[in-house]
Amino acid sequence: LALLQERGRLPSEIAAMAAADLASALGFAHKEGVIHRDIKPENVMIRRDGRVKLMDFGVARVLDESSITLDGSLLGSPAYMSPQQAMGERPAPTDDVYSLGATIYELLSGKPPFYRGDIPSQLTSKIPSSMVERREELEIKADDRIPKEWEAVIAACLHKDPNLRPPSAGK
């Protein structure tokens, strides 16, 4: 997302708009049985007219397909993978919910959650033990424009237990 690179983080109003549009797009995909599996800021485009588009369904899977390639490698971007995706479990809508939470976190803070400068193999080993619980851990500080409600939304999305995440991005 070029806007994120230019500004470092997005104003909460723009992040809210992007989050709502992304959740809507993912909700539609999930309803149709499609899991994106690579939600991240680089796959989000905000057009000049303000419309938000989710891009790159290149690693998307239909719910009854496997999450692992023929050679056994994981698909997706490690900094945004759910613990279940990192462990190679069957893809589920809650994996996209986790990635959406990580993306919203980065839109608001300017940094991905948990992972700073790690190489991909280190990231996938850290993901299963990671979970955001408090505002301080989100590193969203000193900006009164960021609503306190973001804490609960992001923490719910990034919960390591998929049963405690929203069941789909559209919910």
Catalytic site residues? 38
Task: Choose among 103, 128, 126, 131: nearest CA to 115.
Answer: 126
The dihedral of CA 75, 85, 148, 16: what is its sign?
Answer: positive
Report the distance separating Cα 141 and Cα 112, nearest Å.
15
In 32-133, which residue ranges form alpha helices assigned H by DSSP?
Answer: 83-86, 93-109, 120-126
The type of residue at 33 is G
